[in-house]
């Protein structure tokens, strides 16, 4: 079975880049990305391709090549579903904020709405692909809705989780470590559906990197991969605290440990805590699933990764207060970085939000500089916490466009995101314009201790 028309529901950080790459690599397939968010779709269609809504190195070039040829962005969801032989569901699956499972379970309302819409509209057989990260066995619920509310057409459900990381999305999509496809491999129709998706990817991904499994293994592998990655960060962060007490250095420990080929060097960078829209959400979801099966030891084991991460953020903030003579009330603290990692404008669950909140509770004044994050986003992130009034957030927090302005007359500077440009700032100038003693807290192990101490800074870095 040859796929001619693809529809992708959800034009976000996953749907947009993933479909752009499929369209670029498969010029004979028409790819339509749809979304209910009109502003987002208008931005994807902006004449100036630099205005597309998601910043990822290399993405605008690919969109420029394929858009209008075989890549389309639209709000006409029904018509895209109707035409498609294969439909990717790539909508958001945030943590539930209400009802049973509040604060833990994945909120599947957007997924269910998609399923009902597909069932209502479809007049021909469809392959439905789960691209969003979902709890294990979601495909069962999808199939149930499609089969019972549809027009009698046949559906095959595949799970094809996405492993791209923000900031490197295009490279990750062009040369993935693996592509995972789960399907009903025990039936002829199921096998054909899996093969149809394999054939899409083999346009550019070597066969040996395409892995096929049953649906449940595929769904659970995505949650497992994120849990393992986050666990490595929490593991090294746990060691960072011990390093600070013992004179060991976490970078040296990470290097020594990572040279063991069984452990490997990646994802051992100690930090102020992991952020991003997925690690916490997916682990909480895993914990919830384990508990719902009565597997309390499994749930506790994974929950510890989150507990450690929360501790790391809190202790970074607490150390600032303690070092500044046990009070930051009325003191100006400059933040360098607000995004959850470098090379993205995404701030979801960024550690900086929680460090700021802690310091604001201690009555600090915060001035923030980030090269890619907009002022309104920073205020929205703080307002969302509901810790204080919107007026107070605006009174006590300011956002500037120049790192030197942030540092002026500050009691302390804290590095929260590992943007490359922070390494090469004129640190002497920053030091001279600060109040003394001038404190510098490196939450990313970005800066060289010796040169900063030579300038005169009181320097504190995670894990040393
Ligand atoms: P996102 O919020 O950027 O995008 C989701 C989009 O879906 C939004 O634009 C929203 O308007 C749209 N949408 C929601 N309901 C809709 C509906 N009924 N009809 C049409 N459009 C609808 O989210 P994202 O970061 O792209 O993540 C999507 C999924 O992919 C999540 O499950 C996430 O866990 C997973 N994922 C994300 C990443 C990442 O790096 N962001 C990586 C791998 C997997
Ligand atoms: C992560 C995974 O890496 C992707 O494979 C996955 O597809 C994605 O989640 C998802 O499901 O959404 P992402 O969150 O975009 O990707 O970025 P990461 O590079 O994983 O970084 C996550 C957080 O961990 C960042 O705050 C980063 O600064 C932090 N981190 C990462 C560390 O503190 N130390 C490290 O060694 C690595």
* CATH number of domain containing 449: 3.40.50.720
**Whether residue 229 has its Cβ less than 6 Å from ligand 2:** yes
Residues 6+ positions from 144 with CB-CB distance below 8 Å: none
**In terms of domains, do 321 and 203 share one?**
no
Between helix 279-292 and helix 215-246 the angle, nearest 10°, is: 120
Residue among 7, 25, 26, 162 flagged as catalytic: 162
> How far apart are alpha carbons 449 and 455 in whole angstroms?
10
**Which atom of ligand 1 is nearest to 54's Cα?**
3
Ligand 2: which of 176, 271, 354 to mutate, judged by most atoms within 8 Å of the beta carbon?
271
Residue among 222, 281, 313, 332 flagged as catalytic: 222
**In terms of domains, do 190 and 312 share one?**
no
How many domains are there within the chain? 2
**Whether residue 166 has its Cβ less than 6 Å from ligand 2:** yes
**In terms of domains, do 312 and 453 share one?**
yes
At 108 the pLDDT is 94
**In terms of domains, do 326 and 185 share one?**
no
Residue where a domain terminates, one of 213, 243, 258: 213
Residues 4-61: tens digit of each pLDDT: 999 999 999 999 999 999 999 999 999 999 999 999 999 999 999 999 999 899 999 9
User: Residue of the nearest CA to atom 29 in ligand 1?
Assistant: 132
Domain that residue 193 falls in: 5-213
**In terms of domains, do 203 and 337 share one?**
no
With CA atoms as reference, report the closest residue to 376 among 352, 407, 399: 399
Residue 250, in any domain of the structure = no
**Cα torsion angle, 392, 394, 399, 400, sign:** negative
Residue 220, in any domain of the structure = no
Count of alpha carbons within 13 angstroms of residue 313, beta-carbon side: 21
At 297 the pLDDT is 98
Residue 197, in any domain of the structure = yes
Q: In the chain, which stretches have pLDDT less than 50?
A: none
Cα pseudo-dihedral 192, 194, 199, 205, rounded to 10? -160
> How far apart are alpha carbons 93 and 220 in whole angstroms?
15
162 tagged catalytic: yes
Residue among 7, 26, 114, 278 flagged as catalytic: 278
Residue where a domain terminates, one of 164, 187, 213: 213
Residue 240, in any domain of the structure = no
**Whether residue 277 has its Cβ less than 6 Å from ligand 1:** yes
**In terms of domains, do 203 and 314 share one?**
no
The ipTM value here is: 0.98
Burial of 111: CB neighbours in 10 Å, binned 0-12, 13-18, 19+: buried
Q: Is residue 81 within 8 Å of 122, Cβ to Cβ? A: yes
Residue 399, in any domain of the structure = yes
> How far apart are alpha carbons 287 and 180 in whole angstroms?
23
User: Residue of the nearest CA to atom 38 in ligand 1?
Assistant: 14
At 150 the pLDDT is 84
With CA atoms as reference, report the closest residue to 17 among 171, 133, 170: 170
Residue where a domain terminates, one of 155, 186, 213: 213
At 234 the pLDDT is 98
Could you tell me the pTM of the whole model? 0.96
3-class SS at 135? coil
Reading the block at residue 411, the tokens are 């009691």
166 tagged catalytic: no
Length of the chain: 464
Residue 257, in any domain of the structure = no
Helix residue spans in 124-272 (DSSP H): 138-149, 169-174, 188-201, 215-246, 250-258
Residue 285, in any domain of the structure = no
Ligand 2 centroid to residue 315 C-alpha, Å: 21
**Whether residue 132 has its Cβ less than 6 Å from ligand 2:** no
C-alpha of 39 from chain center: 21
Residue 383, in any domain of the structure = yes
At 369 the pLDDT is 98
**Whether residue 164 has its Cβ less than 6 Å from ligand 1:** yes
39 tagged catalytic: no
């Amino acid at each position: 079975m040859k796929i001619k028309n693809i529809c992708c529901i959800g034009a976000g950080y996953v749907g947009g880049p993933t479909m752009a790459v499929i369209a670029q690599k498969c010029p004979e397939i028409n790819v339509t990305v749809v979304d209910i968010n009109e502003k987002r779709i208008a931005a994807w269609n902006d004449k100036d391709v630099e205005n597309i809504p998601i910043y990822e190195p290399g993405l605008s070039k690919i969109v420029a090549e394929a858009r209008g040829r075989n890549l389309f962005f639209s709000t006409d969801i029904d018509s895209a579903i109707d035409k498609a032989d294969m439909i990717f569901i790539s909508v958001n699956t945030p943590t539930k904020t209400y009802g049973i499972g509040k604060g833990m379970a994945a909120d599947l309302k957007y997924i269910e709405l998609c399923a009902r819409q597909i069932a209502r509209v479809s007049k021909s057989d469809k392959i439905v692909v789960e691209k969003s990260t979902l709890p294990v066995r979601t495909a069962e619920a999808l199939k149930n809705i499609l089969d019972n509310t549809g027009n009698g057409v046949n559906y095959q459900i595949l799970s094809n989780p996405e492993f791209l990381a923000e900031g490197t999305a295009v490279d990750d999509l062009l040369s993935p470590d693996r592509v995972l496809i789960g399907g009903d491999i025990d039936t002829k129709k199921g096998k054909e559906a899996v093969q149809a998706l394999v054939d899409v990817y083999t346009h550019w991904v070597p066969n040996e990197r395409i892995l096929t499994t049953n649906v449940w293994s595929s769904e659970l592998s995505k949650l497992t991969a994120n849990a393992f990655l986050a666990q490595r960060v929490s593991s090294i962060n746990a060691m960072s605290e011990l390093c600070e007490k013992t004179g060991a250095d976490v970078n040296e420990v990470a290097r020594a440990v990572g040279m063991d080929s069984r452990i490997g060097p990646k994802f051992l960078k100690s930090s102020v805590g992991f952020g991003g829209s997925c690690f916490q959400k997916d682990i909480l979801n895993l914990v919830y699933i384990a508990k719902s099966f009565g597997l309390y030891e499994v749930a506790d084991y994974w929950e510890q990764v989150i507990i450690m991460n929360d501790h790391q953020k809190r202790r970074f903030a607490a150390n600032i207060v303690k070092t500044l003579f046990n009070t930051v009330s009325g003191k100006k603290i400059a933040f360098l970085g607000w995004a959850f990692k470098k090379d993205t404008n995404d701030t979801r669950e960024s550690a900086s939000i929680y460090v700021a909140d802690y310091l604001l509770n201690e009555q600090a004044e915060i001035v923030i500089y980030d090269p890619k994050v907009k002022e309104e986003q920073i205020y929205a992130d703080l307002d969302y916490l509901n810790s204080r009034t919107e007026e107070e957030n605006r009174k006590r927090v300011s956002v500037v466009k120049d790192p030197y302005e942030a540092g002026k007359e500050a009691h302390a500077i804290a590095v929260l995101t590992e943007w490359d440009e922070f390494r090469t700032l004129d640190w002497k100038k920053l030091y001279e314009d600060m109040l003394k003693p001038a404190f510098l807290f490196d939450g990313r192990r970005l800066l060289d201790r010796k040169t900063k101490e030579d300038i005169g800074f009181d320097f504190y870095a995670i894990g040393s």
